[in-house]
Structure 1
Amino acid sequence: MNAQHQDILDFVAQQAPFNALPDSTSDYFCHHLEVIYVTRENQHLWLDSAHPKLFLIRSGVVELVSPDGDAIARLTSGDYFGYPSLLSGEAIKNRIEVKQEALVYVLNQQDFDYLRREYKAFEQYFVRAHSNRLLSTKFQHHSDSWSERKIADLMTRQPVTLTPEATIHTCAQTMSDHRVSSIMVVQGQPMEQRLIGVVTDRDLRSRVLAKGVDPQQSISEIMTNNPKYIFENNRVFSAMHLMLKHNIHHLPVLNEHHQPMGMVTSTDLLRQQKSDPVQLIGRIYKASGIADLKRYAQEVPELLDGFAYHIDDISLIGKLLSGISDALTTRLIQLFQQQHGDAPTRFSWICFGSQAREEQTLHSDQDNGLLLPNDLTPEQMEYFKRMGEFVCEQLDVCGIVRCPGNIMASNEQCRLTLKDWLAKFSKWLATPTPEAMLNCKIFFDLRFITGSSDLFADFSEALSALKPDQLFYRALASELNLNSVPIGLFNQLKTEADEQHHKFIDLKRRGIVIINDIVRLYALQANIRYASTLERLDALTKTQFLSKKDIFDLKDCWRYLTQLRLHAQLDSEQLPSNCINPDRLTSLERHQLKEAFYLVRQAQQAASFKFARGSL
């Protein structure tokens, strides 16, 4: 073996997927490759539909460009291109533009197919790569959609902060000097500062000037304590929703260590905003009556139909629909109190299931409840009974149908005091019957919507203190095996049929629910209190329960199956809810679907085995 061949072999062996495959695959690739030099002058010669090939960049920079002229990806050393047409047999539509002359290794169709046949991991790698390319570029021409951007992308200045001892006069002068409309009030050493309050220009007008307060007093006297905040990696959509829900115009931004990063204002968001369903949420919060809410709710399917094709993060759809449900619920509670007076005591309206996970779809039903203080009088309980019945009835009128299992605040079993809720959870944990396990799946996906956040915090803290034993986890793990992915003999997709003999696969029951159950199981073991499946997976990266690869696989499969499910709902193929006809997929899409189900089954079996033998 000469030095040049050894150099190529060393490079190839370090690239995925070869670095996870036997040495013979790298050697085969090196013996069958062609070495080319791609320049701006010859860049048009290489992507040929009649002779598709796999290209691996050794050096240089190449940009992949869509037929519309949009840049899809910038490719450098170690990146591949050309594989979509090798996998699908479809004509090549994209082109390449050389940004820096490139040395490229090329493998022809015959040799690529040989490696696919002989090494499943090789094929899996490129199928997954193509799936990710589709997910990230399908809506590429809408990549300027403001609502999916991260908050960090809007931050243009360092945070402007003061300590609580600073005077009101100093605060006003600082705001003027920095030309900002708010100040973040912090405590602690410079590298360990924590947000404790906010002062806005409105506070200076209404709490100082209007009341004749001495400007030499400290800002701790006029600041808003424990303000709402958002983390820098959250989406702009989430910030807008939070500001609309709480009618605030200044929202502090923190990093993952809870240190101040800056302030985002309603003006910042309005600069970004275009026509978008988030505007609908704003109208819901300001609706004057039931008729308005019903009319706004009827706009959701049409708005979603447009919005769904403008984003590349499919989880945002669930957040949007859950945000609409939250807004409808909050406004209905406000309308009830306008008619019947303020609540006689604290309460927390909570939600469960898909709404709690912020993963609702067009066909999601209600899953909600009321958390109440202990020792209420019969008169107080009667007030909340009427509230629960009113809100659930009007949600149904607005299109969020009643829960078939009656998990709603209109049911007295879902309208409980703190003590009674904790007793219910404790009983389920101590006696893991099949019914208890079903309840755990529903009720452990839990989120606060409106009311007393302090009461809900007490509840969450008490729940965290409940420590299930190994028997509980084994029982919950055994539930995983009651459902299976639709893969049969010879890796064929297994379909069901309705009375009209329509063939279908239930993506929710046979895939997404299994992923949710797996992730919930690990999250409970790790005492992770997030409800969202993706947030739970992100939190699990900081534990030893799942490898990063397993977490990536589960997130990838969840997004892919959720996207197929959403598009099936929007396309309305006269199939049962959440179902697709696999015969209507392309051969590559079917292959990707099989791959997703295969990975889900692996994770399902691994979780059942780990928890059954108590290895966690």
Structure 2
Amino acid sequence: IYLTRENQNEWLKSDSPKLFLIRSGLYDLVDEKGDVVTRLAEGDYFGYPSLLTGEAIQNRLQVQKEGIVYLLDQSSFDYLRREYKTFEQYFVRAHKNRLLSSHYKSQNESWSERKIAELMSRKAVALPPDASINQAAKKMKKHGVSSIMITEHECLVGVITDRDLRNRVLADEVDSKEPLSSIMSAKPKFIFENNRVFSALHLMLKFNIHHLPVLDENHKALGMITSTDLLRQQKSDPVQLIGRIYKAHSVTDLKRYGLEVPELLRGFSNNIDDISLVGKLLSGVTDALTSRLIYLFQEEHGTAPTCFSFICFGSQAREEQTLHSDQDNGLLLPDGLTEPQQDYFKRMGEFVCEQLTLCGIKRCPGNIMASSELCRMSKSDWCERFLNWVEAPTPDAMLNCKIFFDLRFIEGSNTLYASFCEQLTRISHNELFYAAMANDINTNSVPIGLFNQFKLEKDTRQHKFIDLKKRGVVIINDIVRLYALKAGIRLANTQERLDALLKLESEKCNFLSNKDIYNLKDCWRFLTQLRLRTQINQEGLPSNCINPDNLNSLERHQLKEAFYLVKQSQQAAAFKFARGSL
């Protein structure tokens, strides 16, 4: 048959199972929830589970690109099974692998894919701040909870736990008629309902908290989740490692933990469905090492003489680090520091960067580290530096913008960092700057040549490869950064930037359609999965590179499709921001 969007329902009837063999075209296999299970192309097949088991068809097909498909009905399939044992063994084995894969995925979803909202079993137990301590104790007893949220107009203002009742009320003999505002932990850490379990565990371990309020996108209090709730879901060695790092008592301990990371990652990557989480995990490890080193430095040399913000740039800021990522960090300092104060932070920057190197995180070849004077500056100096790049967008300036406009807070003063970000948002509103960024993005090309063939590079040993980072992931990161800056989005993570762009009206993100956003999300994830898989498997090629001959036909097709979509997005950015001036 020639399968199209118009006739797909006619041929793909749930009451008439068939084996479908794809000769041409492109199709998405979609599950009952509407999620894409896999993309099918030439040489792929589907439909055999129902033919083998007699069970109802669960998945459905969506035609993405019309093509020719061969159909084999139940009686013909059964005949071939009886007459040709090789035929039967092939599909029985395929079905077994499919079941194992489904079981594997369902196990993983309980850990890596599950959102916080899915673990919420009860509504928020809350009281206003003027309620009495006695009322809180009674309500906690009634609901059988160890903590209570303090809210005003359904928005979180504080938290009280059973530990607070022991330490702040009983131990200090506070009158139980006093208002909760007098003993609550104000402005507590919280997490949004759509965040993952991994993020919640990381937050709890970093700040040594056991009760984490859950909010919706409007900051309305939804409920509380505890460390016990999360650890019950799945014990995770990588997250436990991060916990040990935050509690380390010496640099020697941190170095030992750093050496555990590569082997731990290999095990972690085999137990998650979304391998791109490896980037978040690695960035989490680097964050933890950095925070603890800052703590150990202050423990030895005294508390910092003034407020400061230790920040990171590049892949660490985007939470997209790989095994080959190096350091990209800096110190944001207040204006008007004295010479002794500047010397203190010089020693802090040098200590942290040197020890991170010993923990296995390479020095930045471009010296973008807090140990460098150019990455250890006052807020005014940092802002002037960014302003110079924006107003004079030379090639070197564009290179700096790709690194420094991806930034994230790690340790120190959140207030200082927030005020710096507000100034950066104002600085970056420059149409000539956006045009220069769009032009710069198009100086890099995807590795697809004439007749839709891969354009391969060679190293000194004549290995053929495609650089997935340079020719794919970096281009997507650059495109998304451009739209995010234009829209005033402060997030650094590429996927989170795309999610934020989805929520904006089209005119605010310069006509980046939802379809374009979903395409960029899919391409980024696919290329990142391939890139990390190659690194973890150590295939002998240069870092971030892959030989397309080692991919199956579906992966090669998807890779070409991803590069094609990236190229379209590049050209669209040039047209929208640079008025097609390329």
**TM-score with structure 2 setting the length:** 0.87
Pair 1:215 & 2:215 matched: no
Contact 1:56 1:80 in 2 (8 A): no
Matching residue within 402, 410, 419 for 1:449: 410
Given that 1:370 and 1:388 are in contact with CA atoms closer than 8 Å, whether structure 2 keeps it comes out as yes
Partner of 1:607: 573
| Alpha-carbon distance, 1:55 to partner | 13
User: CA 1:152/1:461 → structure 2, altered by over 3 Å: closer, same or farther?
Assistant: same
SS in structure 2 at match of 1:214: coil
CA distance in 1, matches of 2:259, 2:119: 32
**Residues 278-321 of structure 1: CA distance to partner in whole angstroms, max 9, x if unpaired?**
11111111112122111111111111111112222333211111
Counterpart-to-counterpart distance in 2, 1:486 and 1:402: 30
- What are the superposed Cα offsets for residues 322-365 of structure 1, whole Å, 9 maximum, x if unpaired? 00000010111111111111111111110000000000011100
The one of 198, 208, 227 aligned to 2:159: 198
Contact 1:145 1:311 survives alignment (8 Å): no
Query: 2:241 touches 2:257 (CA, 8 Å); kept in 1?
Result: yes
**2:294 paired with 1:328:** no
Structure 1 residues 295-306: aligned runs within 5 Å: 295-306=256-267
Q: How does 1:139-178 map to 2 (within 5 A)?
A: 140=105, 142-178=107-143
Q: Please tell me whether residue 520 in structure 1 is matched to residue 481 in structure 2.
A: yes
Judge conservation of contact 1:348–1:448 (CA < 8 Å) in 2. yes
Name the counterpart of 2:217.
256
Q: For residues 75 and 407 of structure 1, what CA distance do their matches in structure 2 show?
A: 45
Distance, in Å, in 2 between the alignment partners of 1:148 and 1:383 is 43
Instruction: Check if 1:560 corresponds to 2:515.
Output: no
- Given candidates 424, 436, 453, the residue that maps to 1:492 is 453
Task: Tell me the secondary structure at the aligned position of residue 411 of structure 2.
Answer: strand
**Among 575, 591, 596, the residue aligned to 2:557:** 591
Contact 2:32 2:58 (C-alpha < 8 Å) held by counterparts:
no
Are 1:432 and 2:388 counterparts? Answer: no
**Whole-Å separation in 1 of the counterparts to 2:444 and 2:181:** 56
Work out the CA distance in 2 between the residues paired with 1:56 and 1:504: 28
Match of 1:112 among 56, 64, 68: 68
Deviations 1:411-435 (A, max 9, x none): 0111111111111112222221222
Q: Secondary structure at the match of 1:388?
A: helix
Query: C-alpha displacement at 1:80, in angstroms?
Result: 11
CA distance in 2, matches of 1:242, 1:520: 26
- The runs of 5 or more residues in structure 2 that have no matched partner are 71-97
- Cα 1:56–1:419 change in 2 (3 A) is closer
Q: 8 Å contact 1:185–1:197 — kept in the other structure?
A: yes
Per the TM alignment, residue 589 of structure 1 is displaced from its structure 2 partner at its CA by: 1.6
Q: Is the 8 A contact 2:276 2:525 kept in 1?
A: yes
State the 1:113 CA deviation.
Answer: 5.7
Q: d(CA) in 2 for partners of 1:99 and 1:466?
A: 61
Per-residue CA deviation, residues 236-293 of structure 1 (Å, 9 max, x unaligned), is 0000000111111111000011100100111111211224311111111111212211
In the alignment, what sits opposite 2:87? none
User: What fraction of aligned residue pairs are identical, expressed as a percent?
Assistant: 61
Q: Deviations over 1:44-78 (max 9, x none)?
A: xx3387x9999999xxxxxx9xxxxxxx94489xx
Q: Deviations over 1:137-165 (max 9, x none)?
A: 69525334424311011100000111111
Q: 1:165 to 1:592 in 2, by over 3 A?
A: same
Contact 2:129 2:179 survives alignment (8 Å): yes
Match for 1:489: what amino acid? L
Aligned partners of 1:183 and 1:199 also within 8 Å: yes
Match of 2:245 among 284, 289, 294: 284
**Residues 149 and 83 (structure 1), Cα distance of their counterparts in 2 relative to 1, 3 Å cut:** closer
Give the AA of the match of 1:551: I
Residue 344 of structure 1 is matched in structure 2 by 305
Where does 1:3-22 land on structure 2 (aligned, <5 Å)?
18=5
Give the alignment partner of residue 313 of structure 1, picking from 271, 274, 277: 274
8 Å CA contact 1:477–1:521 kept in 2: the answer is yes
CA offset digits 1:88-137 (Å, max 9, x no partner) = 35798755656658999999xx96169xxxxxxxxxxxxxxxxxx9xx96
SS at 1:523's partner residue? helix
Tell me the equivalent position of 2:490.
Answer: 529
Distance 1:526 1:376 in 2: 34
Indicate if the aligned counterparts of 2:24 and 2:42 stay in contact, CA closer than 8 A. Answer: no
1:47 pairs, out of 11, 19, 22, with 19
1:87 pairs, out of 17, 23, 42, with 42
Cα contact 1:54–1:83 (8 A) shared by 2: no
Match of 1:365 in 2: 326
Change (3 A) 1:558 1:94: farther
> CA shift at 1:216, angstroms?
1.3
Q: 1:93 to 1:330 in 2, by over 3 A?
A: farther
1:578 corresponds, among 529, 544, 550, to 544
Note the C-alpha offset of 1:235. 0.3
Cα distance in 1, alignment partners of residues 528 and 119 from structure 2? 28
* C-alpha distance 316-80 of structure 1, shift in aligned 2 (>3 A): closer
Letter in 2 for 1:442: I
Secondary structure at the aligned position of 1:299 is classed as: helix
Which residue identity is paired with 1:557? C
**3-state DSSP class of the match of 1:171?**
helix
- Secondary structure of the residue aligned to 1:38 is coil
Q: Which amino acid aligns with 1:164?
A: P
What secondary structure is seen at the aligned counterpart in 2 of 1:172? helix
For 1:263, the aligned partner's letter is M
Which residue is 2:505 aligned to?
543
Alignment check: 8 A CA contact 1:367 1:407 kept: yes
Question: Structure 2 vs 1, CA of residues 75 and 412 (structure 1 numbering), >3 Å: closer, same or farther?
Answer: closer
Letter of the structure 1 residue corresponding to residue 43 of structure 2: S
Is the Cα–Cα contact under 8 Å of residues 409 and 415 in structure 1 kept in the other structure?
Answer: yes
Is the Cα–Cα contact under 8 Å of residues 369 and 407 in structure 1 kept in the other structure? Answer: yes
Would the alpha carbon gap of residues 101 and 246 (structure 1) be closer, same or farther in structure 2, given more than 3 Å must change?
closer
Is the Cα–Cα contact under 8 Å of residues 348 and 449 in structure 1 kept in the other structure? yes
Q: Which amino acid aligns with 1:155?
A: M
Task: Note if contact 2:330-2:376 (Cα within 8 Å) is conserved in structure 1.
Answer: yes
**In 2, Cα distance between equivalents of 1:177 and 1:265:** 18
Kept in 1: contact 2:123–2:222 (CA 8 A): yes
Please tell me whether the aligned partners of residues 36 and 103 of structure 1 are also in contact (alpha carbons under 8 angstroms): no
* Residue number in structure 2 paired with 1:126: none
Pairing of 1:332-411 with structure 2 (within 5 A): 332-411=293-372
Equivalenced residues, count: 544
Between the aligned partners of 1:55 and 1:570, the Cα distance in structure 2 is: 30
In structure 1, give the amino acid aligned to 2:19. Answer: L
2:59 and 2:323 map into 1 onto residues whose CA distance is 49
**Contact 2:25 2:42 survives alignment (8 Å):** no
Q: TM-score, length-normalised on structure 1?
A: 0.82
Identify if the C-alpha distance between structure 1 residues 407 and 52 changes in structure 2 by more than 3 Å, giving closer, same or farther: closer
Larger displacement relative to structure 2 (309-318 or 573-582): 309-318
